[in-house]
Amino acid sequence: MNPTARNAYLASSVTTASPARLLVMLLERLVLDIERGLEAQQSGDHQAAHNQLIHAQDIVVELSTSLRPDVWDGAANMAALYDFLGRQLTQANIRRDPATTASSLELARQICDTWREAALVAAAPAGVVAAG
């Protein structure tokens, strides 16, 4: 796919996605950024690792600020989890520590998987449970 067509497809995907799908897309990007940051740390490319981990931290801030405690009782707990992940990513970046990056990646994957499953359940017709 050429870059122009790919960009048009991505833009269309974002503008037509449900809020739950947008959340999952953002979390998938978070996981990708951390994976790339870890790979860069392991190969000694500190600038690339820094750039990826900074973008991951920005995503975590966006996730945290988008929480709606007035709508969801679990928002405070999720905010604490996002805060922890953000601090871990900052430390991984400052210390250039692949072990901390790897543990952050595992947490990000778990969060992503959980939200993906919740989005599938929410999208299922009433009375139908999504298999996973």
pLDDT for res 9: 47
Give me 132's structure tokens: 């996973």
Q: How far apart are CA 78 and CA 29, in angstroms?
A: 18
pLDDT in tens, 47-87: 999 999 999 999 999 999 999 999 999 999 999 999 999 99
Give the residue extent of every domain in the chain: 17-116
Q: What CATH fold (topology level) applies to the domain 17-116? A: Four Helix Bundle (Hemerythrin (Met), subunit A) (1.20.120)
Longest dimension (CA), the chain: 51
Residue 123, C-beta contacts closer than 8 angstroms, at least 6 positions apart: 18, 20, 130
- What pTM did the predictor assign? 0.83
Q: Select from 119, 125, 131 the least CA-distant residue to 24.
A: 119
How many Cα atoms occupy the beta-carbon half-sphere of 123 within 13 Å? 14
Q: Tell me the average pLDDT of the chain.
A: 89
pLDDT in tens, 88-107: 999 999 999 999 999 999 99
Position with higher pLDDT, 16 vs 24:
24
Give me the count of residues in the chain: 132
Q: How far apart are CA 118 and CA 65, in angstroms?
A: 20
